[in-house]
Structure 1
């Protein structure tokens, strides 16, 4: 399973561990991913996603999953989130 947020696309970054003697060794900075179930009000069903803690705060700030998905760029979303966004647009259009 990829270590990537399904809503923001935030992924693994790389860098260096730097010792006191300034020896550098490669390391990975992993995103803080959590498995959550978010409620979609328009679709009237829960959605299970693996998102970063920062994305979870942003979802709450924007007013829920539906508002977040409609505002988020398609390039950042996972295929699962894009499918949910497509369902959401179809539901709101009808």
Structure 2
């Protein structure tokens, strides 16, 4: 059974912004793309670099180090040099609370 844990509130992640959290020792990045909340690993799969320093472009996340973009729905890299999927996690929003599951 999927276990969701509260990690933030909608007040923490305004539309067009990102917010870093830690869940069970794992660094997770929340992204609010036009009102939809996504959760993924915080570190780029190409090189250890924080994606929180990147930029949201629609429902994609762009790493500011080498320019690779990742689809926030699937984690798939859309540009080189990244060629490994970014881990994405299930999200649910209840009222103002954001919950993430790591499985």
TMscore range, shorter length: under 0.3
TM-score normalized with structure 1 length:
0.28
More helix, by proportion: 1
TM-score computed with the length of structure 2 as normaliser: 0.26
Larger radius of gyration: 1
Structure ranking higher in strand proportion: 2
